[in-house]
Amino acid sequence: MCHQTVSLVARTLEEDGISTVILGSGRDIVEYCGVARFLFTDFPLGNPCGKPWDQSMQRQIVELGLTLLEEACEARTILETPFLWSDDSSWKDDYMKVDAAKLDRLKQMGEQRKSLQRQAKQTGVARSE
The order of strands in the sheet holding 22-24 is 22-24, 37-40, 77-80
| Mean pLDDT, residues 113-127 taken together | 85
**For residue range 42-63, what is the model confidence (pLDDT) as tens digits?**
999 889 999 999 999 999 999 9
| Mean pLDDT, residues 81-108 taken together | 84
| Mean pLDDT, residues 110-118 taken together | 91
Give the pLDDT confidence score for residue 61 in this predicted structure: 97
The answer to whether residue 90 scores a pLDDT higher than 90 is no
Confidence class of residue 22 from pLDDT cuts 50, 70 and 90? very high
129: closest CA among 119, 54, 20, 52?
Answer: 119
DSSP of 19-61, one letter per residue? Answer: ---EEES-HHHHHHHT-SEEEE--S-TT-TT-STT-HHHHHHH
The answer to whether residue 125 scores a pLDDT higher than 80 is no
The structural domains of the chain, with segments of one domain joined by +, span 3-84, 98-129
The answer to whether residue 75 scores a pLDDT higher than 80 is yes
CA atoms of 64 and 14, how far apart (whole Å): 20
Whether the CB-CB separation of 81 and 39 falls below 8 Å is answered with: yes
CA atoms of 31 and 50, how far apart (whole Å): 20
The answer to whether residue 73 scores a pLDDT higher than 90 is no
The better pLDDT of the pair 117, 92 is held by: 117
